[in-house]
Amino acid sequence: MPGFSRPALALAFCTMASATLIAVRTLASLGTVTGGQWFFFGLFTLLAALSYLFPMRLEGDEPVSYILSSAFLFAGVLLLPPGLVSVMCLLLVIPGYLRNRRRDRLVKDAFNASNYLLAAQASAWIIHLAGGGGHFGPVNLMAVLVAVALNLGFGTVLVAGFLSLNLEAPFWTSPVWDPRFLAADAMISAMGALLGIIAAVTPWAVALALIPLVLPYWLLRNIHLVHMVDVDPKTGLYNHRYFQKRLPDLLLRQKGRHRPLSVLFADLDFLREVNNTYGHLAGDQVLKQVADVLLQHTRPGDLLARWGGEEFVIVLPDSDPELALGVAQRLCDAIANHAFSVAEAESIRCTMSIGVASAPDKGWDPGCLVHEADQAMYRAKAAGRNQACQA
């Protein structure tokens, strides 16, 4: 399946199979569900699905988002029987897939839902050992804290493992290990635990408890919209302005760490012919699909931006000239092998030429590095296009 390596897919399908077996075993508890539990199931499922559909992406290059789904799932762990918790997790696959009906997106959403399910059921088991979620003495509260930690650690390990296998990168270099992201996830799980405790003790106070959970998220999403000025509206990648602002910082960081960095300057071949043949709207569709292909075949920590027109730039931290040239050639192959949809039941093929320049080989000056990559891209075009060329 495009976008995922075989080891990553193997981990994803093993996770899904394990989650499915556990979900089937928990469905027997659905016969004991009360009216109040059905109400909270509906409320928390709706809120979890909405937060899953509208995540807040962090500023920066890491593909990590804040979502409140885990908060509502953890509240459900304290209030609902295991069967309803399993159903909540499985329902999370539906909104994302309906919004973007791609096979790779379905795998991603199913893996995330399975991850949620395994972590939630493990947390529920710990809370059950302490006497259940209906009583909150010292032992019960300690069990809730342990469950929060387990919920955080379980999910982080699985996601880090998936990214490591998919990108062939070291396990501990995954962005999910960033302390800021771990703190945010811990905060969301803890707020979900408080929501569940409040709902168990005083159900009518749930409306009040939702305010400090949802309102900050809404405010942060509005703040996040300010950062959308850094995003290219046609492709969803960062724009030229953000790239020019971000590249010097990345170079300074890599230079301080004595680590290499490579810049790829990519140009889509013959986009003008697509515009002349199918119209500019079709050309815009091709640009968007090119961006999707580039995202699928690069690492989470890489910086992708649209330079302008049909030109893209990609920054590869920790990549020497040889590694960067291999990445560039794989991107050329991925573009050449992709069927671009430009009209109903009609697709075309496109190619891309890429130039590669690396620091420290070509120095640490941002402008010189981009210029070298740009010149290498023109040599790739002169050599016949659909290939990568080293500066």
Residue 300 vs residue 248, higher pLDDT = 248
- Decide if 83 contacts 89 (C-beta within 8 A): no
Same domain, 93 and 215: yes
pLDDT, tens digit, 9 for 90 and up, residues 98-141: 766 666 667 777 888 888 899 888 888 888 887 765 566 787 78
Mean pLDDT of 284-290: 88
* Residue 233 falls inside a structural domain: no
* Residue 302 falls inside a structural domain: yes
Q: 245: Cβ–Cβ under 8 A, 6 or more apart, which residues?
A: 230
Residue 192's H or E segment, with its range, is helix 179-201
* Residue 252 falls inside a structural domain: yes
Instruction: Kindly give the pairing relationship between strand 346-348 and strand 340-343.
Output: antiparallel
Same domain, 206 and 251: no
Q: Does pLDDT of 215 surpass 80? A: no
Same domain, 170 and 294: no
- Supply the CATH number for residue 249's domain: 3.30.70.270
* Residue 379 falls inside a structural domain: yes
* Residue 181 falls inside a structural domain: yes
pLDDT, tens digit, 9 for 90 and up, residues 7-22: 888 898 999 999 999 9
Q: Give 206's pLDDT tier (boundaries 50, 70, 90).
A: confident
Residue 291 vs residue 57, higher pLDDT = 291
d(Cα 115, Cα 152) in Å, to the nearest integer? 11
Q: Which two tokens stand for residue 133?
A: 């979620």
Q: Please give the angle made by the CA atoms of 49, 172 and 102, to the nearest 5 degrees.
A: 35
pLDDT, tens digit, 9 for 90 and up, residues 158-174: 888 887 887 677 787 77
Total residue count of the chain as it appears in this document: 391
- Decide if 105 contacts 58 (C-beta within 8 A): no
pLDDT, tens digit, 9 for 90 and up, residues 252-270: 988 888 999 999 999 988 8
Same domain, 210 and 253: no
* Residue 1 falls inside a structural domain: no
Q: Provide the percentage of residues in the chain whose pLDDT is more than 90.
A: 23
pLDDT, tens digit, 9 for 90 and up, residues 334-343: 999 988 887 6
Q: Provide the percentage of residues in the chain whose pLDDT is more than 70.
A: 86
Same domain, 222 and 245: no
Angle between helices 69-79 and 103-129 (to 10 degrees): 40
- Decide if 64 contacts 175 (C-beta within 8 A): yes
Tell me the average pLDDT of the chain: 82
Same domain, 168 and 247: no
Last residue of a domain, one of 185, 204, 227: 227
- Supply the CATH number for residue 152's domain: 1.10.1760.20
Same domain, 16 and 69: yes
What pLDDT shows up at residue 60? 45
Query: Nearest to residue 103, comparing CAs of 296, 236, 340, 287?
Result: 296
* Residue 235 falls inside a structural domain: no
Last residue of a domain, one of 202, 227, 252: 227
Same domain, 161 and 277: no
d(Cα 54, Cα 57) in Å, to the nearest integer? 9
d(Cα 386, Cα 334) in Å, to the nearest integer? 10
Residue numbers of the domain that contains 315? 240-390
- Asked which of 4-8, 318-322, 324-328, 353-357 is least confident by mean pLDDT, the reply is 4-8
Q: Does pLDDT of 148 surpass 80? A: yes
The DSSP 8-state label assigned to residue 388 in this structure reads E
Mean pLDDT of 25-31: 85
The torsion of the CA quartet 226, 230, 234, 236, rounded to 10 degrees, works out to -90
Query: Nearest to residue 199, comparing CAs of 144, 131, 133, 122?
Result: 133
Q: Does pLDDT of 63 surpass 60? A: no
Q: Which amino acid is at 175?
A: P
Same domain, 48 and 135: yes
Domain count, the chain: 2
Same domain, 163 and 41: yes
Last residue of a domain, one of 198, 227, 256: 227
Same domain, 114 and 261: no
d(Cα 293, Cα 295) in Å, to the nearest integer? 5
Q: Which two tokens stand for residue 238?
A: 């960062």
Same domain, 283 and 360: yes
What pLDDT shows up at residue 216? 67
* Residue 263 falls inside a structural domain: yes
Residue 346 vs residue 261, higher pLDDT = 261
Q: Give 187's pLDDT tier (boundaries 50, 70, 90).
A: confident
